[in-house]
Amino acid sequence: MAGAQALVAYKDGNNGAVTVKTLDIKSYSEMVPGKLSFEVWGLKGEESGGAIMIFANMKVPEKVTTLNQVWQVGPSVTAGRFDKHDFAPENLNSKGMLNLIGDHNVSGGAVDSRTKKKNIHGVLNSVSWGVLFPLGAVIARYMRTYPSADPAWFYLHAGCQVSAYAIGVAGWATGLKLGSESAGVVYSVHRNIGITLFCLSAIQMFALFIRPKKDHKYRYFWNIYHHSFGYTIIILGIINIFRGFDILNPERKWKSTYIVVIASLGAVALLLEVITWIVVVKRKSSTKPYDGYNGQSRQQPLNM
């Protein structure tokens, strides 16, 4: 893991002896043996049952009571250089806190600052792209069917979307920060979808300022732009949230909770779609065509 100072053991390909080295890992492209920032001596490795155990003495700074600990299984050693490990969720979550004075030496349940940032990133984006944006679309599509809801539906829709955008930008910014702190760890698809969402939503916000009046000749084209961007944001947002779940690999209950929320919102939208079509059809069938006489008696032509 980039930034870690590690003790690494491997079997020598020539004689099969276990060799232990120290690594000061600056980046994944420079994983060569190097001196650590703290004193280490008595390095020794033993193999038992196919597993290698490392023994070492180390001197930590005075008054230090806990240390961050990471562990990995590397794939191979090539020409004396250590190859980088996989970046699957189980690899990235192989960390804990080493308590030097307590009764429990290793605490895997402690949440470090980086994990907290990941959790914040996930929550912000789930609420924004995954809940508020779809909710705003549902409000706009179904509330405006009823004249009594005008203009309340518009303010609810706009407020929901602006809030979603603000929260989404915060989530996007935390993602950029996490990316800058993760040298060598790149989730290209997740990152590219996130950048696309930010760009589309930023353009979508301009819809509030360039919205033509209902009878304007450009209103038709504005509707196409607004609706196409909106539905694209919703679809990409939900896709990226599930990609984020796969990357963060949280407890299953969090993913299940989001599935329940988005499925419930989809079910409500489907029900409202049916109700809306019923209302529209009834409204059209009850409206008689105008005959030009406003209900007054119509003079019949004379019979010749």
Q: How confident is the model at residue 252 (pLDDT cuts 50, 70, 90)?
A: confident
Give all strands of the β-sheet with 95-99 in edge-to-edge order.
66-70, 95-99, 106-107
- Which is nearest to 187 in space by CA: 242, 235, 230? 242
Whether the predicted pLDDT of 52 surpasses 90: no
In this structure, is residue 186 part of a structural domain? Answer: yes
At which of 107, 128, 159 does a domain end? 107
Higher pLDDT, 37 or 6: 6
The 8 Å CB, 24+ separation contacts for 136-139 are: 136/160, 136/161, 136/164, 137/230, 137/231, 137/234, 138/265, 138/268, 138/269, 138/272
Q: How confident is the model at residue 199 (pLDDT cuts 50, 70, 90)?
A: very high
Annotated binding site for heme b: 121, 157, 190, 226
In this structure, is residue 213 part of a structural domain? Answer: yes
Q: Which region among 34-43, 196-205, 238-247 has the lowest average model confidence (pLDDT)?
A: 34-43
Whether residue 189 is found in the same domain as residue 257: yes
How do residues 146-185 score in pLDDT, each as one tens digit?
888 888 888 999 999 999 999 999 999 998 888 877 655 6
Tell me the two tokens of residue 259: 């599935």
How do residues 92-110 score in pLDDT, each as one tens digit?
777 777 777 755 544 444 4
Whether residue 72 is found in the same domain as residue 124: no
Q: Which region among 23-37, 91-105, 191-205, 228-242 has the lowest average model confidence (pLDDT)?
A: 91-105
Q: What mean pLDDT is predicted for residues 20-38?
A: 73
Whether residue 52 is found in the same domain as residue 151: no
Q: What mean pLDDT is predicted for residues 7-23?
A: 77
Q: How confident is the model at residue 23 (pLDDT cuts 50, 70, 90)?
A: confident
Cα angle for residues 232, 233, 238 (degrees, 5° grid): 105
Whether residue 24 is found in the same domain as residue 89: yes
C-alpha span between 162 and 146 (Å, rounded): 23
CA distances from 30 to 10, 21, 94, 184, 301 (A): 18, 14, 21, 11, 100
pLDDT value of position 118 = 85
Specify which of 49-53, 74-78, 125-129, 208-212 reaches the highest per-range mean pLDDT. Answer: 125-129
In this structure, is residue 294 part of a structural domain? Answer: no
Whether residue 157 is found in the same domain as residue 246: yes
- Which is nearest to 68 in space by CA: 129, 25, 125, 110? 110
Q: Which residue has the tokens 């019923």?
A: 278
In this structure, is residue 299 part of a structural domain? Answer: no
Percent of the chain with pLDDT over 90: 30
Whether residue 93 is found in the same domain as residue 212: no
Whether the predicted pLDDT of 288 surpasses 80: no
Whether residue 143 is found in the same domain as residue 63: no
One-letter-per-residue 3-state SS of the chain: CCCCEEEEEEECCCCCCEEEEEEECCCCCCCCECCCCCEEEEEEEEEECCEEEEEEEEECCCCCCEEEEECCCCCCEECCEECCCCCCHHHHCCEEEEECCCCCCEECCCCCHHHHHHHHHHHHHHHHHHHHHHHHHHHHHHHCCCHHHCCHHHHHHHHHHHHHHHHHHHHHHHHHHHHHCCCCCCCHHHHHHHHHHHHHHHHHHHHHCCCCCCCCCCHHHHHHHHHHHHHHHHHHHHHHHHHHHHHHCCCHHHHHHHHHHHHHHHHHHHHHHHHHHHHHHHHHHHCCCCCCCCCCCCCCCCCC
User: 35's torsion region: left (phi>0), alpha (psi -120 to 50) or beta?
Assistant: beta
Whether the predicted pLDDT of 61 surpasses 80: no
CB 112 within 8 Å of CB 121: no
In this structure, is residue 255 part of a structural domain? Answer: yes
Domain count of the fold of the chain: 2
Whether residue 175 is found in the same domain as residue 97: no
Whether residue 158 is found in the same domain as residue 258: yes
Whether the predicted pLDDT of 265 surpasses 80: yes
pTM of this structure: 0.60
In this structure, is residue 303 part of a structural domain? Answer: no
pLDDT value of position 304 = 41
pLDDT value of position 302 = 45
Q: What mean pLDDT is predicted for residues 125-131?
A: 94
Annotated binding site: 121, 157, 190, 226
Q: What mean pLDDT is predicted for residues 207-228?
A: 87
Whether residue 66 is found in the same domain as residue 133: no
C-alpha span between 53 and 68 (Å, rounded): 19
At which of 72, 107, 142 does a domain end? 107
Whether residue 85 is found in the same domain as residue 123: no
Whether residue 168 is found in the same domain as residue 28: no
pLDDT value of position 112 = 60
Structural domain range at position 80 = 5-107
> What is the CATH classification number for the domain harbouring 124?
1.20.120.1770
Q: Judging by DSSP bridges, how do beta strands 39-48 and 51-59 pair with one another? A: antiparallel
Whether the predicted pLDDT of 187 surpasses 90: no
pLDDT value of position 159 = 92
In this structure, is residue 74 part of a structural domain? Answer: yes
At which of 107, 142, 164 does a domain end? 107
